[in-house]
């Protein structure tokens, strides 16, 4: 019978890099999972044994990959995949499910993609660091959320530095694009509470709106406007959960002086009103 460690991360208050669930499993022969898709990034590292990954590529074609000890695979949000332990030498693996506003930007540097999901280490020492960070998180679920997020950052750094296939974006053009995206992030972080537009963000980067929107969507998978709304709503959930500010005050803080507009935008993202979200997530009730 399979041996499993499975944990759900207890906090939703991390924006740039967040953890959702993590674990370890020593699988039975031919044990399989899927077909299934996740809402976030999911990385598996094969610690011993072998197995098969069947995953959709960018054309939604199912491609099969053989995974052996020391290799891993990255699944992308909404990518349908199945993975199966070998009959003779079933694998043991650890996994982390994570996401965040800056994750796509970091993962682009690894060369991993929908069509190239298999991780192969380039540097043995950095690989060992990555492996150690994964297992540390798996075996220390009792630590504070902030402590575990710190180790998740170290994992992501090691994943990027140990990968074998640096993205073409790592060249001069990619570095320039990364600079513009970082400038956009910085402007949004400092001004999300104000009445800013996509034109304002583009101007802060020194770009015209059309070109800025194009490179932003290519890098982040969403438009600047979608990103700004997502950022504001994530900030709103933090305030709903951690403070006793009124709904109106929270709307003001995240750039919505009109409470009705704020509530409508929030419900479009989360499917419930800000007040219902607060009660469902144990937030402080406004007196």
**Which pLDDT score, from 0 to 100, does residue 220 have?**
79
For residue 35, cis peptide bond before it (omega within 30 degrees of 0):
yes
- C-beta of residue 265 within 8 angstroms of C-beta of residue 255: no
- C-beta of residue 91 within 8 angstroms of C-beta of residue 49: yes
CA 18/CA 262 separation, integer angstroms: 24
Beta bridge partners of 245: none
Domain with CATH 1.10.10.60 in the chain: 172-280
Q: Which CATH architecture has domain 172-280?
A: Orthogonal Bundle (1.10)
Please state the φ and ψ torsions of residue 30, each to the nearest 5 degrees.
65, 10
**Which pLDDT score, from 0 to 100, does residue 2 have?**
62
**Which pLDDT score, from 0 to 100, does residue 168 have?**
47
Dihedral angle at the C-alpha atoms of 32, 38, 43, 45, nearest 10 degrees? Answer: -10
Lowest mean per-residue pLDDT among 22-26, 178-182, 215-219: 178-182
pLDDT > 60? residue 124: yes
pLDDT > 80? residue 248: yes
CA 249/CA 251 separation, integer angstroms: 5
**Which pLDDT score, from 0 to 100, does residue 138 have?**
96
**Which pLDDT score, from 0 to 100, does residue 151 have?**
96
pLDDT exceeding 70 applies to what percent of the chain? 93
Most confident by average pLDDT, 213-222, 235-244, 253-262: 253-262
pLDDT > 50? residue 133: yes
DSSP string of 45-100?
EEEESEEEEEEE-TTS-EEEEEEETTEEEEEPTT--EEEEE-SSSB-EEEEEEEE-
**What are the C-alpha distances in Å from 238 to residues 68, 187, 232, 254?**
41, 20, 10, 11
Domain with CATH 2.60.120.280 in the chain: 3-167
pLDDT: which is higher, 47 or 168: 47
CA 245/CA 253 separation, integer angstroms: 10
Please state the φ and ψ torsions of residue 13, each to the nearest 5 degrees.
-100, 20
Please name the helix (run of DSSP H) or strand (run of DSSP E) that holds residue 41, with its range, or none.
strand 41-48
Q: What is the pLDDT of residues 188-220, one digit of tens each?
A: 988 999 989 999 999 988 888 999 999 888 877
- C-beta of residue 220 within 8 angstroms of C-beta of residue 262: no
CA 85/CA 67 separation, integer angstroms: 9
**Which pLDDT score, from 0 to 100, does residue 166 have?**
47
- The chain-wide mean pLDDT, for the chain, equals 88
CATH number for the domain whose boundaries are 3-167: 2.60.120.280
Lowest mean per-residue pLDDT among 23-32, 72-81, 164-173: 164-173
Report the alpha-carbon angle 232-268-238, nearest 5.
35
pLDDT tier, 186 (very low <50, low <70, confident <90, very high otherwise)? confident
pLDDT > 50? residue 172: no
Q: What is the pLDDT of residues 141-153, one digit of tens each?
A: 999 999 999 999 9
pLDDT: which is higher, 219 or 84: 84
Q: What is the pTM of this model?
A: 0.64
Beta bridge partners of 72: 45, 119
| Token couple for 153 | 């950052």
pLDDT > 60? residue 32: yes
pLDDT tier, 181 (very low <50, low <70, confident <90, very high otherwise)? confident
pLDDT > 60? residue 285: no
Q: Choose among 257, 267, 268, 229: nearest CA to 276.
A: 267
């Amino acid at each position: 019978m399979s041996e499993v460690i499975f944990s759900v991360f207890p906090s939703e208050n991390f924006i740039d890099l967040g953890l959702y669930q993590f674990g370890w499993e020593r699988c039975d022969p031919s044990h399989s999972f899927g077909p299934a898709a996740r809402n976030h990034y999911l990385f598996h590292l094969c610690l011993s044994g072998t197995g098969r990954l069947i995953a959709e590529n960018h054309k939604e074609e199912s491609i099969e990959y053989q995974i052996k000890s020391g290799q891993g695979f990255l699944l992308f949000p909404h990518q349908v995949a199945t993975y199966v332990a070998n009959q003779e030498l079933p694998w043991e693996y650890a996994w982390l499910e994570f996401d965040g506003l800056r994750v796509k930007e970091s993962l682009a540097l690894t060369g991993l993609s929908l069509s190239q999901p298999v991780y192969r280490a380039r540097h043995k020492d950095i690989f060992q660091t990555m492996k150690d960070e994964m297992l540390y998180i798996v075996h220390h679920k009792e630590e504070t959320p902030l402590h575990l997020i710190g180790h998740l950052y170290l994992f992501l750094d090691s994943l990027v530095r140990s990968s074998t296939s640096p993205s073409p974006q790592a060249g001069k053009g990619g570095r320039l694009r990364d600079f513009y995206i970082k400038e956009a992030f910085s402007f949004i972080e400092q001004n999300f509470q104000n009445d800013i537009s996509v034109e304002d963000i583009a101007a802060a980067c020194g770009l015209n709106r059309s070109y800025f929107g194009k490179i932003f969507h290519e890098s982040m998978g969403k438009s600047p406007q979608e990103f700004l709304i997502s950022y504001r709503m994530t900030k709103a959930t933090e305030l709903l959960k951690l403070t006793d500010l009124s709904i109106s005050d929270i709307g003001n803080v995240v750039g919505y002086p009109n409470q009705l507009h704020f509530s409508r935008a929030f419900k479009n993202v989360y499917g419930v009103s800000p007040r219902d979200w607060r009660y469902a997530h144990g937030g402080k009730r406004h007196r």
